A = this chain, B = another copy of it.
Amino acid sequence: MAHKTTIYDIAKKLGITAATVSRALNDHPRISEATKKMVMSTAREMNYVPNKLALALKNGKSTNVGVVVPFINRHFFSNVIRGIEEELYPKGYNVIICQTHDEEQRERDIIQNLMNSQVEGIIISIARTNTKFDHLEQVLKKGLPMVFFDRKRDMEGVVSVAIDDFQGGYDATMHLVKQGCRTIAHLRGDRTLEIYWERFKGYQQALKDSGLAYREELVLDITSVEEEGLRAAQRLMAVENPPDAIFSSSDYGALGAIKWLVQKGYRIPDDICVVGFSNEPFTQIMDLSISSVDQSPMEMGRMAARVFLDGTDVTDTAKTQKRVVLSPTLMVRDSSLRDSGPVPSPKVD
């Protein structure tokens, strides 16, 4: 694996100085066209490749940005990453991705490693298990721009990008009300996570605004898996005065619920309407397609990247806004769309 050619090699071959070569390569104004041509062509000949590392060391800037997520292969995160990459690549940045596996220790290691790597910034959805946050404070202390998305946290000098989960919960519930549902249950996600709590609050508010009673026994805590949605549906329908609609904080929960309901002979959406959350691909593919709240993950990624770029562009002034809130979009589908008249506001695909 031969020696990598440097500007010195080119200089030597041409009987000039490395400095001149450097200038020629960078199209410096006061370099003769002749030498420029020479340098360019021999550079190509010798398979010259500029060394970004050297440049980075010199400038103290690496042109790398760290992106940290729990798992890369989740639909939501892979789309966010795509958005980030597509926004950053044209600006000359490379994206380094890391997975925390939702483990705090791993997140700490990763942050440390990214700082070592001299990334220009960190875009992160924090791990759910986090109890302490000093590693993130560290980042700020170093003057490294940081952006949160999805799993955010209030922190001085960090902009967060997320959808309005409250709004999502509110819209979903309101939609159910408009479909004529009067007894709406909720499958709630992990209460300690802000996003789930907000969805729940949105649900409550919608009930209130509609003059519907909030009944505790209609709110069940589940994790985001089919099996739990299934059991939850079973429990709900055994309640006295059972629900005629279910708003699930996750699509998998909705899926499980629907499967159980269908199997038991309930007609959807006539007997009972169901709405999920996240707009997972499968929701629109099902024979009975599932209504769901879209989080526009790619757009979220783009936005997070833009926030980062703005932060670096700006000449250190205006601390801009503290959080960017994206609006969720309710996708109305079979599982909650009753024939009785058209639905005006929400999107139907």
Contact = CB atoms under 8 A, between A and B. Distances in A.
Interface of A: 1-2, 4, 47, 49-54, 56-57, 60, 62-64, 71-75, 78-79, 81-82, 85-86, 89, 94-99, 112-113, 115-118, 138, 141-143, 226, 255, 259, 262, 281-282, 285-288, 298
Identify which of A2, A82, A226 gathers the most chain B CB atoms within 10 Å of its CB: A82
Nearest to A99: B85
B97 A2 contact: no
Contacts of A82: 71-73, 99
A186 to B, nearest CB: 22
A298 B78 CA distance: 14
A94 to B, nearest CB: 5
A187 to B, nearest CB: 17
Contacts of A72: 78, 81-82, 85
A73 B62 contact: no
Contacts of A71: 82
Contacts of A74: 78
Contacts of A52: 116-118
Nearest to A66: B94
A61 to B, nearest CB: 9
Nearest to A112: B49
Contacts of A115: 49
B47 A255 contact: no
Contacts of A54: 57
B4 A60 contact: yes
Nearest to A1: B143
Nearest to A114: B94
Contacts of A73: 75, 78-79, 81-82, 298
A142 B97 contact: no
Given A49-B112, A255-B285, A281-B282, 5 more contacts: A53-B117, A71-B82, A72-B82, A86-B99, A287-B287
A285 B282 contact: yes
B56 A53 contact: yes
A116 B51 contact: yes
Contact of A286 (B96, B117, B287): B287
A149 to B, nearest CB: 15
A3 to B, nearest CB: 9
Identify which of A49, A53, A81 gathers the most chain B CB atoms within 10 Å of its CB: A53
A333 to B, nearest CB: 14
Nearest to A138: B47
Given A51-B118, A142-B1, A94 B98 contact: yes
Given A82-B99, A286-B287, A116 B47 contact: no
